[in-house]
Structure 1
Amino acid sequence: MNAPASAPVQHCQVAIIGTGFSGLGMAIRLRQQGLDDFLLFDKEQGVGGTWRVNHYPGCACDVQSHLYSFSFEPNPQWTRMFAPQQEIKAYLERCWHKYALAEQTQLGCEIRTLHWQEAQQHWLLTAADGRQFSARYVVSGMGALSIPSIPELPGLASFKGERFHSQDWNHDYELRGKRVAVIGTGASAIQFVPQIQREVAQLDLYQRTPPWIMPKPDRDISAAEQRRFARWPWLQKLWRGGLYSLLESRVLGFAVTPKAMKLVEWVARLHLRKQVKDPALRAKLTPSYTIGCKRILLSNDYYPALEQANVSVLDNGIGEIRPHSIVDSQGVERAVDAIIFGTGFTPNDPIPRGCVFGRDGIDLVDTWPQGPEAYKGTMTQGFPNLFFLMGPNTGLGHNSMVYMIESQIHYVLSAMQLLQRNGLDSLEPKAEAQQAFNLRLQNQLGPTVWNSGGCNSWYLHPVSGRNCTVWPGFTWRFRQITRHFDPAAYHFDRVQHPLRQAQPQPEAEGANA
């Protein structure tokens, strides 16, 4: 593929796609290392990633604020224990400005395709507007939860009312007095349902599987607390460490001793009993799978909202969408003015077909027949110098993703520095190293509650049933295996020596989770 003569290809050492925690964290660390030849790309007109595009009513984090932030950029001014979307977005924007990243950021520039150029040993990036860029390295900071999942419902195209996904919230549409159908009961829905319930005339909540919900230990952070954190940074660091240890201990129930989840389930059941007095409604809202099998949600106002007179929880399934109504699987028709999808994202298909082409022009999707996989969640064989942040099996069910992102960023920097020191042009994991790593990882996932909890969650690939999403254990263990780059697990190339150089077999530490 060649760029038009009127539009020369712009080159950089590192192309970073996305400006959320992953993309900004990568750019900041590059800058701190004195590596300034990089470009940040984002399809939106501003930075912030998921915390920019998700702006539905009630949007907030379910990890404590002081832990859901960069370790090198503490924020003593969080106003709540669990930060609302506006504050997280503002925090990321401040980081972008503080580290002077504006000149190297291409906003409104959606990268559509990546092609590996073997002879030049670099990637060719093509944007939606036709512009082209080349880069020695590409770092994907798009994350797994970026492509909305819209279910294929019979007749959906015929619907004449308003419809949108929670990520694409239409704030111009007046919900007051409307009959609204919410499809889905995941992490987004439990936040926006209580907000819109107060306004709408009727809210029909279509639930396929009820989530386990725990009380949310949220509160205001006082001005005095904020001043103390600002005056004594060590105090905030100590607080952050305590939160990390508290959340990290939860992996004991998820992965080490799943029977311990019975105690957590007891707390969730008590929360449900206290907040929902109607036995019939409580029965609808009680899950039949082990807690933790799906994402555990936090809320203090979701259950009370469902008890209100203008809310109906419907669990018969959807049979058909008509121009002004929804018909359930039992043939009951209910009039509706608007449909809002709270149906989440597509973590098992994070990159569509036809976007990323590696060695010999192979499509990335074709190398993942059982679902996405990578070596240490970061690189995949056949795609040199392409790094994934928040890649396959780096997701968490118990702690802060920012910790995982920072671990990966360190590993990526180590790889780049090794190439620079040794005059090498590219690297990619060996097939046997990637296979050994993922085999061990999948074996570790087998007995965890995510795999054996008796539910059909988005953690599992819909075709293979393979868990492509979650890291199977302690986050400090992931940091341990990414602390030092392990060249024995990789092939390396030089332009002047295009044949891959044979490397020693990977050591046990490099090939195991």
Structure 2
Amino acid sequence: MSSQQLDAVIVGAGFGGIGAAIQFNRMGYQDIAIVDREDDLGGTWHVNRYPGLTVDVPSTTYSYWFEPNPYWSRLYAPGVELKQYAEHVADKYDVRRYMRFNTVVEGARWDEDAAVWLVSLAGGETLRARFLVLATGYLCQPRTPDIPGIETFAGRIVHAAKWDDSYSLEGKKAAIIGTGSTGVQLVPALAEDVSELTVYQRTPIWVMPKFDLGFTPATQRLFARLPAAQRLLRMSTDGFMDLMVTVAMWKFRRFRPVNRAAAAIGGLHRFLSVRDKELRRKLTPDYDFGCKRPTLSNTFYKALTKPHVHLETAGIERIEPDGIVSRDGSKRDIDTLVLATGFDVWESNLPAIEVIGRDGRNLGKWWRENRFQAYEGVTVPMFPNMLTQASPYAWVGMSWFDTVEYQMRHMNRLFGELQRNGANTFEVTEQANARFLQEMLDLLDDSVFHLGNCATSRSYWFNSSGEAPLFRPTSVRHAVKEQDRFPLSDYTIA
């Protein structure tokens, strides 16, 4: 067991963990450990490196407000640039020095007597820290589909979240399972290389046109020399994204026509891209826009119209050593199977590690037995000195950075109060947590999740109980303002 007591342990070296470390430094905390099971920083943008990877939120919005990047090559930057941006921020704000890679956290337990968190690492080491931050993200546990016979497949299986750059798909007969955001990006890229591609779709996705544009070197120089110009562009992308999510999803009761208009744009995009009526029918969602994460692409539909690309919607019966048998009895012979099957959000990710708070309360067990909940999407009763980023009712807007930065503001106010009182611990009260949960539930009553037709969406936004507690159903602006005015009495400071 380590004898050194740290100020904080942050689990996860993605953009959330980096943001938390920067905020700790701003508050004067320097003894920090950022631990990550991967071999480098960046989280999702380190792990994911599949062909065609890009952001599906404008890069001007998908970045820290306090650290704009004038050098994006496009409005929707490729994934490699997000990785480079993570490295730049970590180096500029000098938080890379805290990072320990290839380090697996097995669990964390609150020591009531010592008022510290004991964080157990694989290999037997234990870190002691005043504060614990869970920064593991929502999408950190890749899902492998439970399909009969998958273990017998004799060809190559490649998961999108574990891409093997050394494996060439040139001339291969391939299949891809999954048409979520990852699948939509992968299909056009795969279609360029393989001799034959079969796309297995369980649920159609809303695909919107992508109004992308490149930034020339002259534009990049302008952004670098005149940051206000990029700020102005960001205000436009921020405002549009926030307005659309708030109105089309959270204010569905009052603004149903806006939701319908968004769906109509998606429908027109599909109509103009796919002339075959039967193929278009298979690609048409039968659930409302916003029930499942929509995506942007100008190439996905077109790729599906190519003669060597086939869309299968009958469902998979089983996988055999040399191919896939659909439920209608047809078989596709393949030598490569690509899995774009997403991530396990609920069963093994909330939380991603075992966390034991006061009186032996197990966070994962408590959430599953008492509903998923976290005050302001940040703290949980009976878990003193703990912050959780990818938590219930935390995700606001469509950019993860919106969530990270409002949580940094929450940290600023909360830790400021802790320091002013010369206190050692904070813990949100049961009453404050219950009040916030009820506020979120009341807001969701007006949302597309409750009033729309979402039954067939099969969205990871919904848990096994049919609830959708990932999102904070407010505007980004509202979430940010709340961090400056939540009652400090909602916390027990001792």
Shorter-chain TM-score: what band?
Answer: over 0.9
Q: In 2, Cα distance between the equivalents of 1:345 and 1:418?
A: 37
Give the one of 57, 60, 75 matched to 1:63.
57
Question: Which residue is 1:50 aligned to?
Answer: 44
Q: Indicate yes or no: 2:283 matched with 1:285.
A: yes
Question: Which residue is 1:351 aligned to?
Answer: 350
State the Cα RMSD in Å: 1.8
Q: In 2, Cα distance between the equivalents of 1:154 and 1:492?
A: 53
Q: Determine if contact 1:115/1:125 at 8 Å carries over to the other structure.
A: yes
**Displacement after TM superposition at 1:150 (Å):** 2.0
Deviations 1:121-173 (A, max 9, x none): 11111112322211100111111111112221122222222213211112222
Q: Report the residue type matching 1:86 in the other structure.
A: V
TM-score by length of 2: 0.94
Q: Report the residue type matching 1:448 in the other structure.
A: S
Q: 1:201 to 1:371 in 2, by over 3 A?
A: farther
Q: Indicate yes or no: 2:186 matched with 1:192.
A: yes
The worse-fitting range, judged by mean Cα deviation, of 483-492 and 182-191 is: 483-492
Q: Indicate yes or no: 2:456 matched with 1:462.
A: no
Question: Which residue is 1:174 aligned to?
Answer: 168
Q: Report the residue type matching 2:241 in the other structure.
A: L
Q: In 2, Cα distance between the equivalents of 1:368 and 1:238?
A: 41
Helix, strand or coil: the match of 1:188? helix
Total equivalences in the alignment: 486
Same amino acid, percent of matched pairs: 34
Q: Return 5+ residue gaps in structure 1 as ranges.
A: 494-513
Q: In 1, Cα distance between the equivalents of 2:351 and 2:149?
A: 25
Q: In 1, Cα distance between the equivalents of 2:360 and 2:462?
A: 25
Q: Report the residue type matching 2:322 in the other structure.
A: H
Q: In 2, Cα distance between the equivalents of 1:427 and 1:330?
A: 58
Q: In 1, Cα distance between the equivalents of 2:137 and 2:352?
A: 16
Q: In 1, Cα distance between the equivalents of 2:48 and 2:70?
A: 24
Q: In 2, Cα distance between the equivalents of 1:90 and 1:80?
A: 14
Q: Determine if contact 1:348/1:460 at 8 Å carries over to the other structure.
A: no
Q: In 2, Cα distance between the equivalents of 1:202 and 1:371?
A: 45
Q: Indicate yes or no: 2:126 matched with 1:132.
A: yes
**Displacement after TM superposition at 1:300 (Å):** 0.5
Q: In 1, Cα distance between the equivalents of 2:231 and 2:466?
A: 40
Q: Indicate yes or no: 2:489 matched with 1:491.
A: no
**Displacement after TM superposition at 1:436 (Å):** 2.0
Q: Indicate yes or no: 2:261 matched with 1:260.
A: no
Q: In 1, Cα distance between the equivalents of 2:327 and 2:446?
A: 35
Helix, strand or coil: the match of 1:264? helix
Q: In 2, Cα distance between the equivalents of 1:470 and 1:282?
A: 31
**Displacement after TM superposition at 1:83 (Å):** 1.0
Q: Report the residue type matching 1:211 in the other structure.
A: I
Q: Report the residue type matching 1:286 in the other structure.
A: T
Question: Which residue is 2:399 aligned to?
Answer: 400
Q: In 2, Cα distance between the equivalents of 1:87 and 1:18?
A: 20
Q: 1:385 to 1:33 in 2, by over 3 A?
A: closer
Question: Which residue is 1:211 aligned to?
Answer: 205
Q: In 1, Cα distance between the equivalents of 2:88 and 2:352?
A: 35
Q: Return 5+ residue gaps in structure 2 as ranges.
A: none
Superposed counterparts of 1:283-362, under 5 Å: 283-349=281-347, 350-351=349-350, 355-362=354-361
Q: In 1, Cα distance between the equivalents of 2:290 and 2:352?
A: 31
Deviations 1:80-101 (A, max 9, x none): 0011111111011011111222
Q: In 2, Cα distance between the equivalents of 1:340 and 1:130?
A: 36
Q: Determine if contact 2:156/2:335 at 8 Å carries over to the other structure.
A: yes
Question: Which residue is 1:511 aligned to?
Answer: none
Q: In 1, Cα distance between the equivalents of 2:291 and 2:464?
A: 18
Question: Which residue is 1:429 aligned to?
Answer: 428
**Displacement after TM superposition at 1:309 (Å):** 1.1
- Structure 1 segments (4+ residues) deviating >4 Å: none
**Displacement after TM superposition at 1:29 (Å):** 2.3
Q: In 1, Cα distance between the equivalents of 2:351 and 2:418?
A: 30
Q: In 1, Cα distance between the equivalents of 2:473 and 2:458?
A: 15
Q: Determine if contact 2:249/2:290 at 8 Å carries over to the other structure.
A: yes
Q: Report the residue type matching 2:440 in the other structure.
A: L
Q: In 2, Cα distance between the equivalents of 1:468 and 1:39?
A: 29
Helix, strand or coil: the match of 2:325? strand
Superposed counterparts of 1:407-486, under 5 Å: 407-455=406-454, 456-484=457-485, 486=487
Q: 1:238 to 1:354 in 2, by over 3 A?
A: closer
The worse-fitting range, judged by mean Cα deviation, of 248-257 and 268-277 is: 248-257
Question: Which residue is 1:391 aligned to?
Answer: 391
Q: In 2, Cα distance between the equivalents of 1:172 and 1:451?
A: 45
Q: Report the residue type matching 1:481 in the other structure.
A: E
Helix, strand or coil: the match of 2:193? coil
Question: Which residue is 1:376 aligned to?
Answer: 376
Q: In 2, Cα distance between the equivalents of 1:128 and 1:403?
A: 32
Q: In 2, Cα distance between the equivalents of 1:62 and 1:137?
A: 33
The worse-fitting range, judged by mean Cα deviation, of 98-107 and 46-55 is: 98-107
Q: In 2, Cα distance between the equivalents of 1:371 and 1:216?
A: 37
Q: In 2, Cα distance between the equivalents of 1:472 and 1:305?
A: 35
Q: Determine if contact 1:20/1:49 at 8 Å carries over to the other structure.
A: yes
**Displacement after TM superposition at 1:338 (Å):** 1.9
**Displacement after TM superposition at 1:459 (Å):** 4.6
Taking CA–CA contacts closer than 8 Å with sequence separation of 6 or more, which of the two structures ends up with the larger relative contact order? Answer: 2
Give the one of 225, 235, 241 matched to 2:219.
225
Q: In 2, Cα distance between the equivalents of 1:57 and 1:358?
A: 42
Helix, strand or coil: the match of 1:249? helix
Q: Report the residue type matching 1:361 in the other structure.
A: G
Q: In 1, Cα distance between the equivalents of 2:452 and 2:162?
A: 32
Q: Report the residue type matching 1:442 in the other structure.
A: L
